[in-house]
Structure 1
Amino acid sequence: MTTATRPRPTTTTFHVERLTCTIGAEITGADLGEIATDDALFADLRALLLEHKVLYFRDQNLTRSQHVALAERFGPLEDHPVAGSDPDHPGLVRIYKDLDSPPEHFENAYHCDATWRENPPMGAILRCVESPAVGGDTIWVNMAEAYRRLPASVKERIAGLRARHSIEASFGARMPVEQREALHTRFPDAEHPVVRTHPETGEQILFVNSFATHLVNYHTADNVRFGIDYAPGAANLLHYLISQAAIPEYQVRWRWTPNSVAIWDNRSTQHYAVQDYWPAVRKMERAGIVGDRPF
C-alpha cells in the first residue's frame, strides 16, 4: 500500500527536538491552551504527531477544561468502564496512585489503550498532576517500526491473521465472576487484524499487545499439521509478536514532572507505565479520543 503524504508544519515557531531515532519529540515554545483554540496551530500539532507518534511538553498550565478542549479537537472523548471519568469533565480519567491506592498492575504491560473495543482510541492526552521525585516514567513504542523490522518470513506468516482482545481477561480478572461476566456482556471480545493499516499515513503496524488473548484464524491446513502446531504453536507466535514492544530500539522513555503532557497516537504505538515508585504519589489525568475500526 502506498504511504500517504504527510502534512508538514508550516506556521508555528515550535521547537522540535527528537528524543530517539525512531519515536518521540519534545516540543518547546508551544502553549497547549492556545493550540486548543487555534486551527492553524492545531493543524501543525497534528502533523507533528503523525510524524513523531508521541509528543511531549513541559510546564503546561492546562486547566481540566482546556485539557478536554484540546483532546476534543481530535474527536469525541470516551469514558472508561472501570476507571470512570472526572464527574465534571466526561472523558477525563483520573489515574491517581497514592498511599490509599497502590499501583495496580494493569499499566505496567506494553499495551495500546482499549484494544478490547471494536473501535480502539485514536490517541490520548496525558497530563501529570503530581509525580514522584524519581520513578514513574512511561515508555512508548513505535509499532510501525516493530512491524517494518520483522523478518520477511514472519511478515508472510502473519499476513491476514486476526487476534481477539479482551477486557474480561485483563481488568475483569480480579472481579467476582458475576461482575466479570457482566463486563464481558457490555464489552464482548473485539477481533482485530494482527497487522493494521494506519488510516492517515498508510503505515503497516504490528497491532497485538497485552490485551490480545489468542489468534482466531490460525488453525488452518497451511499452519497446522499436528496439534502441537496450534497449541502451543499459535500461542508461541502471538507471544513472539507481543514481545516486540520490549525492544529498546523502538522505544522512548519519558520522565514526568508536574504539568508535563504527552500526546500519543494510539494506533501506531504502545506504552508501558513503569511502577517503581510506590509509596510515592503519582497523579495523572488522561483524555482518550474515540478512534476508528482497525483494518
Structure 2
Amino acid sequence: MKIRPITPAIGAEISSVHLGEAARDAGLFAQIKAALLQYKVLFFRRQDITRAEHVAFAGRFGALETHPVAGSDPDHPGLVRIYRSDNPHSYENNYHCDGLWRPNPAMGAVLRCIECPEIGGDTIWVNMVKAYEELPEEVKRKLDGLRARASIEQSFGAVMTPEARAKLAQDHPAVEHPVVRTHPETGEKVLFVGAGFTTHFTNYSTPANVRHGIDKAPGAALLLNYLISRATIPEYQVRWSWQQGDVAVWDNRSTQHYALNDYWPAPRKMERAGIIGDIPC
C-alpha cells in the first residue's frame, strides 16, 4: 500500500490497493483505517469494485445507516444513490458534517464515483481539528461547555410542503451537540458546527455572555457564523477532482465537506455508504 499526502493539512491518495480485497483482509483494512485517522480523508483512483464490495468494505468500519430522504439501494441496504442528472438543485453544496442532525452523526462514509462531468463536480474536505486548534485562545475559552442545536428540517425539509416538513421534524427531532467534540479514537478536539444543519446555540444566554439584548441573539449569531466560516479557510482543505471509479473515504467526526454544484446540465452520479457513529461528547 502506497500513501501520498495531498496537502499539509488533510488528505492522502492511496494506491496499490483494491478495496474489494481490503473488505476481506483484516490486516490491509487495519492499515487503511490507521491512515484514515491520520489523514482524515483518503482517495483511491479507479476502483473496479461491485456494490456488494462497496458495502462490505464500508461495513468493516461499522453498521451502515439509512437516510430518511435519500433512501438506499433495495439490493444493498445502506448504499445511497446520489444521482444528479435531471435536477440542478443540490443539498451538498455547503460545508457540512453528514448526519449532524442525528443524535449519533455518521462515523464516516465511503463514496464512489459512478459517472462524473468532464469539468466540475469536485468535492472539498476540511480538517475541523485544525479549524479548532487555530482559534484564538479567548474564543476557545468562550466555547468551553457551549452546545448547539442541529436540525434536518431547515435543509432537506426546506423544499417540502409544510405537512411533509412537519412530519420530517416529528420523525427526526432536532438534537443538541457540543460545539467542540472530542474524537473518540484520536482524542483530538474538533469544531463541531456546520452551515448545513446547525441552527443556534442552546446555552449561550448566560450572565457571563449577555449584558444587554444585543448580546443575546445577535451576539450568539455572530459567534456561530464566525465558527461556521472556519470551514471555508483554504489552508484547512483538500479538493478532489473525480474520475469514474474513484473512491473517497472520510472520517466524518473530524471533517466537513462541500460538493460543488457547478456542472449542470452534465450528470454526476455517486454512491455512498455511511457508517453509523457514536454520540458526540
Q: Does 1:230 align with 2:216?
A: yes
Q: Which residue among 247, 258, 272 is the counterpart of 1:261?
A: 247
Identity of aligned residues (%): 64
How far 1:105 sits from its partner (Å)? Answer: 3.3
Provide the C-alpha distance between the structure 2 equivalents of 1:80 and 1:117, rounded to a whole number of angstroms: 11
Corresponding residue number in structure 1 for 2:227 = 241
Provide the TM-score with structure 1 as the length reference: 0.94
Supply the AA of the counterpart residue of 2:268.
R
Provide the C-alpha distance between the structure 2 equivalents of 1:273 and 1:74, rounded to a whole number of angstroms: 23
Corresponding residue number in structure 2 for 1:285 = 271
Provide the C-alpha distance between the structure 2 equivalents of 1:278 and 1:178, rounded to a whole number of angstroms: 30
Q: Does 1:81 align with 2:81?
A: no
How far 1:178 sits from its partner (Å)? Answer: 1.0
What SS does the corresponding residue of 2:167 show, helix, strand or coil? helix
Q: Does 1:119 align with 2:119?
A: no
* Unaligned runs of at least 5 residues, structure 2: none
What SS does the corresponding residue of 1:232 show, helix, strand or coil? helix
Cα RMSD of the aligned pairs, angstroms, is 0.6
Q: Which residue among 177, 183, 187 is the counterpart of 1:202?
A: 187
Alignment of 1:1-295 (within 5 A): 14-98=1-85, 100-102=86-88, 104-210=89-195, 211-295=197-281
How far 1:209 sits from its partner (Å)? Answer: 0.2
How far 1:80 sits from its partner (Å)? Answer: 0.6
What SS does the corresponding residue of 1:285 show, helix, strand or coil? strand
The list of structure 1 runs, each at least 4 consecutive aligned residues, that deviate by more than 4 angstroms after superposition, is: none
**Aligned length in residues:** 280
How far 1:101 sits from its partner (Å)? Answer: 2.5
What per-residue deviation string (whole Å, max 9, x for no partner) do you get for residues 164-218 of structure 1?
0000111101111111111011100010000000000000000000210000000
Provide the C-alpha distance between the structure 2 equivalents of 1:32 and 1:138, rounded to a whole number of angstroms: 21
Provide the C-alpha distance between the structure 1 equivalents of 2:159 and 2:58, rounded to a whole number of angstroms: 31
What per-residue deviation string (whole Å, max 9, x for no partner) do you get for residues 93-149 of structure 1?
000011x222x2310100000100000000000000001111000000000010000
What per-residue deviation string (whole Å, max 9, x for no partner) do you get for residues 28-72 of structure 1?
111111000000001111000000000000010010000000000
What SS does the corresponding residue of 2:56 show, helix, strand or coil? helix
Provide the C-alpha distance between the structure 1 equivalents of 2:235 and 2:242, rounded to a whole number of angstroms: 21
Provide the TM-score with structure 2 as the length reference: 0.99
